Chains A and B, each alone.
Chain A
Amino acid sequence: MKAAQDIQSFVERVRAHDTEFYRDHWGTAQAFGELPPVSREDFRRVPLSKRRYKNGKAMVKVIRDANGPFLSEWAADDIREELYSVPSKRPMVYLSNAHESLEKGAWCRLNGMPSLVGEREPEVAAIEAERFRIDSLITDSTNLPKLRSYLEGRKEKLATISVLDTTFDIPTLRTFDAFAHTVRLVLALPEVGAFAESTPDAYPRFRVMPNCIVEQNGQALVTKLSDLVTPVIRYRFECAEPLECTV
């Protein structure tokens, strides 16, 4: 974990910024551990233009749940720094949400890899995967099973399958062990990015990613010590089961 003074100076930098979102939210609270948590509702309530902490090349995504939509903006430099997957020669991105898929396609490009984002229809995505002879897959719990018959037809294992999600059905994911040398479970949220990872064997023990802090005292909070367009500081996230996060 980062030294406490690094965390505090990050908090002070965000507090001193022209954008008032966090300053208003925090009020007089000073120490990192005392800052009021922020949630999706706060992101939804405040327009993107009022929680934008930097300008520059960026993509805008729509994030939608049962309570409605909000925008999340990601700078190219911040997308590059994420640990969505590991380097490979010919990755394919196939996520159930189009915005998430495109962002991970850009992640490949920004990390020295060719970019292929599978089209929505599984039959089409399978043709793409087969013809490009992909060697790794960036997907989620919803879309991975759609490629099962493609994976069954492959002669050799993929190097990696990275499953980006917030809940992981381990018995189902286990059935994909045979198709890849490594299956990575990546705890990620569209507005936060990736912040912890595990494997089906290690689950529910997650290793927290560098520059991320996960707190679990009754509620699960994540912090990213990065200057994101909308920084993520003590952001509340839902977890189906208690995760054991280690640094």
Chain B
Amino acid sequence: MNILERKDIVEIWKGIVAGFIAKPPLHPEEYEIRLTSGTSGNEPILIVRRHEPLHWNALRRVQCSGSMGVRLQHLLNALVDEPDVPTRIWALDGSDIQEEMGPLMEDYAPDGIRGSCSMILRAAGHIPAKTRAAVSSAVFGGEQVTPALRQAAERAFPNAKLQTVYRAIEVGSISEEPCGHLPFGHNHPAAGFGMNVHDPDKQGVGDILVSVALSETTFIENYRTGDLGRAVTGPCVCGKEEVFEIVGRRGQDYVKLSGATLRREEWDRVADALRLYNDYRVEASKVVLNGKVQGKVLLRIFRRDGAGTEALAQEIADKVAKTAFVTPTRTYSELVATGLLAPLKVEFSTTPFLRGKKEVKIVEK
């Protein structure tokens, strides 16, 4: 099978953009332009996509996303789709999320909140309980919702139906808008999307491959999104046959964590530079502390010379935290200072790490 990787669709998108510029479509206003983030060490991709309508019955929406492109898409969904429906939207900016937002939210009285779960929970910390209780729909997308995050979201929005959607900016909304009958984390593929789980393991988990039209004239087949998922059997109450579940991002590339990105190549670089251990594994998790989401990282290391003392573990943790970049410009220790990350913890492993088919060094727990 010929699998398309990200580098393959970089070229395809360049062609589509060149076509748009050379010969604009009849209705150029129906197109939204945005750049995918290049944080995974890949070249960013410029996307020129036709507006995708969204059927979400929330009338007073709050959108939580760091990306301007994603915010704009949801703003246009509210302003342009379904012309007779009086949809309002507040696309939250990070700078809105502070104490003084509470009375404004109370005044706005949202019924639906959508976006990245971490950002939604950060916002929830400044929304009065009564206002949160009036939210009837919460839709998460853009990052994996771990059990800890889900529980925190259930507490924050006790009367909301919690659902997930799955999209990749470079290909669009892969999941359909939730039908309302599926368990949390399960979705139907969107119309026009072919989905395949490639090379599944015993639990049925493998790489998600999608086939879809990127433009009126360009169809891609078997594009590896970089996420791991599985097909769920059985038809849904709504009548649709196909159901899938996303279980995580391919760990060997990167894990996103509370404003930080843990990249395999960076942790390899740090290991090479410091030469304090022979092998390592990074376990990332998100914890909710006083209503705030904090990223927590455990670095498990193996030393051929044998394990060391508690003091050595601390010394290694300090050195790694000062060396490892977790954003393009900031180190782990700098993000600890901002409160986004908990201090790095180092643990010795007495046995070497097993090397599997896909050598996963960074995982999200």
Same complex origin of A and B = yes
Interchain CB contact under 8 A, A128 and B80: no
Contacts A62-B96, A116-B32 supplied; 8 other A-B pairs, CB < 8 Å: A57-B85, A59-B89, A69-B96, A69-B104, A102-B71, A111-B29, A114-B31, A116-B34
Cβ-defined contact, B76 with A118, below 8 A? no
Encode A176-214 as 1/0 by CB contact (under 8 A) with B: 000000000000000000000000000000000000000
B45 and chain A: residue at smallest CB distance: A131
Min C-beta distance of A48 to chain B, whole Å = 5
CB of B300 within 8 Å of the partner chain: no
- Most chain A CB atoms below 10 A, which of B35, B71, B89, B96: B35
Contact of B68 among A64, A71, A117 (CB under 8 A): A117
A128 touches B35 (CB 8 A): yes
| One of A10-18, A119-127, A153-161 at the interface | A119-127
Question: Given contacts A99-B91, A109-B80, A115-B32, is CB(A59)–CB(B75) below 8 Å?
Answer: yes
CB contact list, B283-339 vs A, under 8 A: none
Whether B68 contacts A102 by the Cβ 8 Å rule is yes
Q: Which of B25-73 contact A (CB under 8 A)?
A: 28-29, 31-35, 44, 46, 48, 67-69, 71-72
> Could you tell me if A59 and B33 are in contact, using CB atoms closer than 8 angstroms?
no
Determine if A71 and B35 form an interchain contact, defined as CB atoms under 8 angstroms apart.
Answer: no
Instruction: Give the chain B neighbours of A131 by CB distance below 8 A.
Output: 17, 35, 46
Query: Given A57-B85, A109-B76, A132-B46 in contact, is the A119-B100 Cβ separation under 8 Å?
Result: no
User: B232 contacts the other chain (Cβ, under 8 Å)?
Assistant: no
- Chain A residue at minimum C-beta to C-beta distance from B109: A49
B86 within 8 A of A: yes
Q: Given that A98-B93, A102-B91 are contacting pairs, would A119 and B69 also be in contact in the complex, using a CB cutoff of 8 Å?
A: yes
A-side contacts of B89, CB under 8 Å: 58-60
A136 CB to closest chain B CB (Å) equals 13
Known: A112-B29, A119-B35. A98 touches B86 (CB 8 A): no
Nearest chain B residue, comparing its CB with the CB of A89: B24
Select from chain A the residue with minimum beta-carbon distance to B98: A69
Q: How many residues of A contact B (CB 8 A)?
A: 47
Tell me whether B348 is interfacial, beta carbon within 8 Å.
no
Which residue on A lies nearest to B107, using beta carbons?
A47
Complex interface: chain A residues within 8 A of B78 (CB): 57, 59
Q: In the complex the two chains form, what is the Cα distance from A102 to B32 in whole Å?
A: 12
Indicate whether A57 sits within 8 Å of B88 (C-beta atoms), given known contacts A48-B107, A69-B100, A71-B108: yes
Shortest distance in angstroms between B153's beta carbon and chain A's nearest beta carbon? Answer: 23
Pairwise interchain contact B88-A115, C-beta atoms closer than 8 A: no
In whole angstroms, what is the CA distance A108 to B83 when docked?
18
Say whether, besides A98-B93, A114-B32, A127 and B85 are in contact (CB < 8 Å). Answer: no
- Decide yes or no whether A40 CB sits under 8 A from chain B: no
* Interface residue? B21 (CB, 8 A): yes
* Contact across chains for B96 and A114 when beta carbons are under 8 A apart: no
Interface check B184, CB cutoff 8 A: no
Contact between B86 and A56 (Cβ–Cβ < 8 Å)? yes
Please name all residues of chain B whose beta carbon is closer than 8 Å to the beta carbon of A61 when the two chains form the complex: 90
Verify if A162 is at the interface (C-beta below 8 Å from B): no
- Residue on A with the closest CB to B33? A116
